[in-house]
Amino acid sequence: MNLLIDALVDVRTTTRLDIVEWNRLLLQARYHGLLARLWLDLSDQGLCEAVPAAARRQLNAARIEAEANQTTIRFEIDRVRTALCGLGIPVVLLKGGAYLAAGLPAARGRLSVDLDILVPRTSLSRVEGALLAKGWRIQEVNDYDDKYYRQWTHELPPFWQPERETLLDVHHTIFPPVSGIKIDGNELLSSRRPLDNGLAILQPCDLVLHSALHLFGEDPSNRLRDLVDLRDLIQHYSGQSPEFWPDLVRRAQQLRVTWALGYAAHHLGAIFGVPIPPAVRLAIVPRDRLRQAVTNRLIASGIVGGLHDEAGPWVAVGQFLLYMRSHWIKMPPLLLVRHLWVKSRLRNGERA
């Protein structure tokens, strides 16, 4: 039994926990970065006073930490706006920054380690120059990693703001083009939704699909929080419009990422009980059902794993396979072999 998942589905289940179970729940929530979210869900139901005092102190401290983190991200969003909006190009907030700036439910109690933005690929040099002029620095990387970012991925090397100790990732699309999954960043930018501050976020379907790609196109191990993001986004937008699900399927087909939506639909249903319309399930049936079934078993184990007192003997093996799968998805075989060989040589050189 996973106490955290039970609480995320219905926080009232916590009223039946004894002190030992509360300790387990707090360990799970802390590991997955969901302590503050748990506190907010308890608060919404008026259950805070029913929480044991020691647990209440931890949860409230997590709420304060999340509020401080979000204040930092809001300030960083404003600094990015100041640095880039004068360039006359679209600047789109991604992931946690987008949820926060747009006031989406996915921002509730959410901790962000960096800020992500999307800009036109043709404007990358201007964006880089403007950020450097305003005090950001490119994190120190070796020549190979710099080439790796600029030629093979969907973003520049990470930026670092030394005075504020914050990180910024600058994207020109939402998945590495070298993977063969070529999503036109200009297509995403053209359908963006403007915010009042001069920045923008992706349109709803693109927000969801980016979240699905970010989770299931990479290593999903120990990333329950990202699945919570997906649940919050889908429940929010599907509750606003009965056409959201059909629109989402059409957009996934247009961008050729129905496979990511398929994984998202399966695990949202299996883990959180999110109702997926039958027509949607039929529209995203994979060609290779056996492979997806095996992968779904690995993901189901990996996504909620990581707690050593609960992990079975095969969890570590499964997570290694998910790690290798994430590289296989993002890079063609020959380039992947070359990449792993070069990185191995660099690590050995650093040790020497």
pLDDT tens, position by position, for the chain (352 residues)?
A: 489 999 999 999 999 999 999 999 999 999 999 999 999 999 999 999 999 999 999 999 999 999 999 999 999 999 999 999 999 999 999 999 999 999 999 999 999 999 999 999 999 999 999 999 999 999 877 777 788 888 888 999 999 999 999 999 999 999 998 888 889 999 999 999 999 999 999 999 999 999 999 999 999 988 999 999 999 999 999 999 999 999 999 999 999 999 999 999 999 999 999 999 998 888 887 777 788 888 888 898 888 875 545 556 667 788 888 888 888 888 877 777 777 777 677 666 654 3
The 3-class SS string of 51-80 reads CCHHHHHHHHHHHHHHHHHHHHHHHHHHHH
CB 285 within 8 A of CB 263: no
CB 199 within 8 A of CB 81: yes
- Is 137 in a helix, a strand, or coil? strand
CB 84 within 8 A of CB 128: no
Do the bridges between strand 166-171 and strand 200-201 make them parallel or antiparallel, or are there none, so unpaired? unpaired
| 3-state class percentages of the chain: helix first, strand second, coil last, to nearest 5 | 65, 5, 30
pTM, two decimals, is 0.91
Read off the amino acid at residue 78: D
Provide the token pair at 258.
């129905």
Distance CA 105, CA 10 (A): 16
Other CB atoms within 10 Å distance of the CB of residue 348: 9
